[in-house]
Amino acid sequence: MEFRRFPRKNKECLNIPCIIRISRHEHRISFNSSLTPEKLICGVCHRKIDTNYGRYSCVKCCNYGVHSKCATRENVWDGEELEGKPEDPYEDISSFIEISEGIIQHFSHQDHHMRLDEKTDRAFDENNYCQACTLPICDDIIYSCIQCDFILHKECAQLPRKKHQVTHPHSLSLQVGHQGCALFECKACLRSSNGFAYLCDEEDYEYMLDVCCASIAEPLDHRCHQHPLFLTFEPRSKQICSVCHKSRGHRLNCGECGFVACFGCATTLPNKLRYKHDEHVLLFSYEEEVNGQYFCEVCEKEANPKNGVYMCHDCNVILHIKCLLGKDENIMHGVVIEYPEVDVSILLNDRLSRNICKCCDKLCKHKIVYEVSDFEICSLKCLEFCCSIFYYVCLMFIFSFSMFYS
C-alpha cells in the first residue's frame, strides 16, 4: 500500500490572527482563505495579491486587501488579536465643546472661550501663529481666544483626541500639556517642535508625532506631484526626497514613477504664506524642469524651484523656504522652554542689527534666536551643543569638588 505524504503547515500560518487592526487602514481587517476571482492590490506594499492564497480583507471596504505577511509586520500591526472584542469608539471623542454658534471651548485652552474668525484678508502679523501646528497665520479660517492671543487653525482645532496613523501600529493621543514649554522630536520628519503632539498610547513606546505629520493619510495627493503618494514600504530605506534632496525620517513615494517626498516637505510647508515686505500672498512652487536663474529676495543667493521655493506671481518675488519660515520652522517664538539645566527664551529675530551667536561666533541670521542668561544663540543645533558643554562643566565641577573633600 502506498502512503501519500502531505506537506506540513507552517507554524506561522497556524497561529495567524483572525481579526486585526493595522496602521494603514481605518477599519479592522479579517483573514480570508477562500478563493475569489477579484483582483486586489496590497494596501501595504502595493503589489498584486494572489487570491489563491490567504490574505486579509476589509469587511466594510469591498476592494481593500493586504498580504498576510505585510499585515502582520511589526511596524504595521500592534500584535493584538481582536476576534470577539468590541470596536473601539475612540474616533467619536471631540477636541472641543460648542458653546454657541461660532464659540467653542477647546480642551487645550479651557480657561477661555474661542471665537470662529472666517476673515481671510486680515493684515499679516508674523507674531500670530497656530499653537497646534506652530505655522504662521495667513489667509486661514481660525479660532482665536476672546481674552488672549491663543490661536488655532480651524483644521487644528478639529483634530481628534485619539487616532490611528499610517506610520505607527498603536493608537495615538493628542497631547498639549507640554505645549510651549518643552521641545520634542517628531519621529516622522525628525524635526523639533513645541506645538501639539500625538503620543503613542502604549507606555513602553516613546513615539511622538507633530500634528502635521500625524494628519498624513494614504493615498496622499501632493501639490508637487501628479500621482498619489504612499508610505515607503521600508521606512528605513535610504531614499532621497525629490524636493529637499535629503534622506531623513519617513518618506512617501509614487507607485508609478520615482518621485519621493519626505514627511517634512509633504506636511510642514503651507501652500501659501505672507512675507512682511510684500503685499501679495506667496505660493509654494516646485518645478522639476526650470528655465533661467532665480534669486532669493532675502539672502540674494540662487533659489532653485527644483528644491521648492515661495513665489509671488504678481511681482516675481522669490524666497527660499528657510529664509521665509526660518531654520527651526516648527518652533514657536515668544515662549520660554524648559531645557536641560536652563530656561531658554525663544525670541523673534527682528532687531535692526543682528547679534553674534555665543556658540558658533557667527551672525544670528535665522528667524528666531534662543536666549540663555542674556546670551543669544542662533540655532537649535548650537543650543544643544552649548547645553551639553554646560552639563559637562557642571559634572567636572562636582567631580573635582567631591575629590577635593574626599
How does pLDDT run across 159-187, given as a tens digit for each residue? 999 988 999 999 899 998 655 567 899 99
Q: Taking the CB of residue 250, how many other CB atoms lie within 10 A of it? A: 23
pLDDT of 403 reads 47
- Nearest-10 Cα torsion for 287, 327, 157, 260: 40
Question: Region 251-257: what's the mean pLDDT?
Answer: 85
Residue 402 banded pLDDT, cuts 50, 70, 90:
very low
How far apart, in whole angstroms, are the C-alpha atoms of residue 248 and residue 153?
Answer: 27
| pLDDT at residue 128 is higher than 50 | yes
pLDDT of 307 reads 82
| pLDDT at residue 29 is higher than 90 | yes
pLDDT of 1 reads 43
- Angle of CA points 6, 8, 12, to nearest 5°: 155
Lowest mean pLDDT among 225-239, 255-269, 272-286: 225-239
The cell for 107 is 480642551
pLDDT of 352 reads 76
- Site of grid cell 498584486: 48
- Angle of CA points 105, 272, 367, to nearest 5°: 85
Sheet strands side by side (includes 318-320)? 272-274, 281-285, 309-311, 318-320
How far apart, in whole angstroms, are the C-alpha atoms of residue 253 and residue 239?
Answer: 9
Share of the chain above pLDDT 70, in %: 88
Residue 18 banded pLDDT, cuts 50, 70, 90:
very high
| pLDDT at residue 241 is higher than 70 | yes
| pLDDT at residue 151 is higher than 70 | yes
| pLDDT at residue 130 is higher than 90 | yes
Single-letter amino acid, residue 248: R
The DSSP element (H or E) to which 106 belongs, if any, is strand 103-106
How far apart, in whole angstroms, are the C-alpha atoms of residue 267 and residue 212?
Answer: 6
Asked if 281 contacts 234 with a C-beta cutoff of 8 angstroms, the reply is no
Asked if 172 contacts 186 with a C-beta cutoff of 8 angstroms, the reply is no
How far apart, in whole angstroms, are the C-alpha atoms of residue 108 and residue 111?
Answer: 9
Residue 4 banded pLDDT, cuts 50, 70, 90:
very low
Question: Region 60-72: what's the mean pLDDT?
Answer: 88
Across 131-135, 273-277, 322-326, the highest mean pLDDT is recorded for 131-135
Asked if 30 contacts 56 with a C-beta cutoff of 8 angstroms, the reply is yes
pLDDT of 177 reads 63
| pLDDT at residue 155 is higher than 90 | yes
Mean pLDDT of the chain: 83
3-state secondary structure of 395: helix
